[in-house]
Amino acid sequence: MSSVVLITIISLSLLGIIAALILYFVAQKFKVYEDPRIDQVEEALPGANCGGCGFAGCRNFAEAIVKSDTFDGLNCPVGGGETMAKIAEILDRKVPEVEPRVAVVRCNGTPEHRKKTSEYNGALNCTIANSLYTGESDCPYGCLGLGECVDACDFNAMYMDSETGLPVIIDDNCVACGACVKACPRNIIELRKKARKDRKIYVSCVNEDKGGPARKACKVACIGCGKCEKVCNYDAITISNNLAFIDSDKCVFCRKCVPVCPTGAILELNFPPRKTAKKEQEEKVKA
């Protein structure tokens, strides 16, 4: 009896040793040198593999950032400054300055603003609808409302508002990875600089048609009249292709452009109710 136990123990141990030896030599033979910092950087990244940095996944981003000497064009929008600081520490480099951004949907074509002129009855996919025709309204630029951006969002930061038929962004969840920007076939979503208290001023329209047809398609379309451009003291507003654009890097949130817009295409969000002109002046000085 004892001999059976002994033989079992010995033979199994021998087997184990032989296997270990083989594994050791194979591992030695096929060893590939890898910068250990790649693992460290990957560890520091959020690990969402969202592709917001432009790479296929966090590992690829880590490889690229270790290989490169600078942080030029390399940023993890999800992790933000904190993560980048950690990476800088690992790589012994200077921390890059990156401003947090947030996605904004530049279309306000709710059913009451934008008349429905047909009924779409195809695959529920914006790109397919976009290649087919203008969509359920006459606006060839506006949101198609089929939610491809929402599907693309990995951070639960978007949902479709069933009443307006437009996507809504939850600012707190948005990490500005840009997945929705890429998903939208009509280029409606933009990443804008994140402001204090999630305040936003932007032209909620991307219609490049002339005033007449744009207005006909949607009541709150930007008609490219240029009134906002004139009133802006900070060169933040430019007009091209019959469309105004407010540069979020230059805008100081003075809100002067909002009331002059004849169609109400410029939206101001998360602001307190308007104060008197004098107080507004003070606000501007502070800003």
Partner 1 sequence: MLKTFPKGGVHPPENKISAAAGIDVLPLPEQVTIPISQHLGAPAEPAVAKGDTVKAGQIIATSKGFVSANIHSSVSGKVFKVDKAVDASGYKKMSVIIKVEGDEWLDTIDTGNEHKKDITLNSEEIIRKCAENGIVGMGGATFPSHVKLSIPPGKHCDVLIINGVECEPYLTSDHRLMLERTGELVTGISILMKALKVERAMIGIENNKTDAIERLREFTSGIDGISVHALKVKYPQGGEKQLIKALIKREVPSGGLPVDVGTVVHNVGTAYAVYEAVQLNKPLVERVVTVTGKELEKPVNVLARIGTPVSNLIEFAGGLPDNTAKIVNGGPMMGKALANLSVPVTKGTSGLIVFREEEARRKETGPCIRCGKCITACAMGLEPYLLMSLTEKGMHERSEKEKIMDCMECGSCSYICPANRPLLDYIRLGKATVGKMIKERKQK
Partner 2 sequence: MNKLLTVSPSPHEYSKESTPKLMYGVVIALAPALLATIWFFGWAALLVTSVSVISCVIFEYLIQKFILKKEPSIKDGSAIVTGLLLAFCLPTNLPLGLVILGSLVAIGVGKMTFGGLGNNPFNPALVGRVFLFLSFPVQMTTWPVPKGFNTSFSDAITGATPLSVLNENYEKMPVDQIMNDPELSMPGYSKLFWGEMGGSLGEIAAFALILGLAYMLIRKIITWHIPVSILLTVAVFTGILWLANPEANADPLYHLMTGGLLLGAIYMATDYVSSPMSKKGMIIYGVGIGIITVLIRRFGAYPEGVQFAILIMNAFTPLINNYIKPSRFGEEVKNG
The closest of 217, 192, 215 to 203, measured between CA atoms, is 192
| Residue ranges in contact with partner 1 by CB under 8 A | 117-118, 121-123, 125, 127-128, 131-134, 140, 209, 213
Q: From the centroid of its chain, how far is CA 166?
A: 17
Contact range with partner 2 by CB under 8 A, out of 17-25, 127-135, 151-159, 239-247: 127-135
Residue span 142-171 as binding mask against partner 2, x where in contact by CB under 8 A, dash where not: ------------------------------
Residue 197 makes contact with partner 2 by CB under 8 A: no
Nearer to partner 2, 143 or 251 (CB): 143
- Binds partner 2 by CB under 8 A, chosen from 118, 156, 187, 241: 118
Alpha-helical runs (H) found in 162-204: 179-183
Binding pattern for the stretch 4-33 against partner 2, x by CB under 8 A and - elsewhere: ------------------------------
Q: Is 123 in the site for partner 2 (CB under 8 A)?
A: yes
Distances (CA, A) of 246 to 26, 110, 231, 252: 60, 22, 12, 10
Interface with partner 2 (CB under 8 A), residue total: 11
CA distance 246 to 103: 14
Please identify, using beta-carbon distances, which residue of 51 and 80 lies nearer to partner 1. 51
- Residue 133, interface with partner 2 (CB under 8 A)? yes
Helices marked H in 172-276: 179-183, 211-217, 227-231, 257-260
Which of partner 2, partner 1, none sits in contact with 209, Cβ below 5 to 8 A by type? partner 1
Does position 216 bind partner 2 by CB under 8 A? no
Ranges within 77-116 binding partner 2 (CB under 8 A): 116
The answer to whether the CB of 167 falls within 8 A of the CB of 158 is yes
**DSSP codes, 33-80:** ---HHHHHHHHHS------TTSSSSHHHHHHHHHHSSS-TT---TTTH
C-beta closer to partner 1: residue 152 or 254: 152
3-state secondary structure (DSSP) of residue 112: coil
Strand partners, 104: 190
The Cβ of residue 261 has, within 10 Å, a number of other Cβ atoms equal to 20
**Among partner 1, partner 2, none, what binds residue 116 when CB lies within 5 to 8 Å by partner kind?**
partner 2
Among 47, 122, 259, 262, binds partner 2 (CB under 8 A): 122
> Could you tell me the smallest distance in angstroms from the CB atom of residue 185 to partner 2?
14
Specify whether the CB–CB gap between 188 and 205 falls below 8 A. no
Region of 16-24, 128-136, 147-155, 185-193 interacting with partner 2 (CB under 8 A) = 128-136
Nearer to partner 1, 60 or 238 (CB): 60
8 A C-beta contact, residue 191 and residue 103: yes
Judged by the rule CB under 8 A, the positions of this chain that interact with partner 2 are 116-123, 128, 132-133
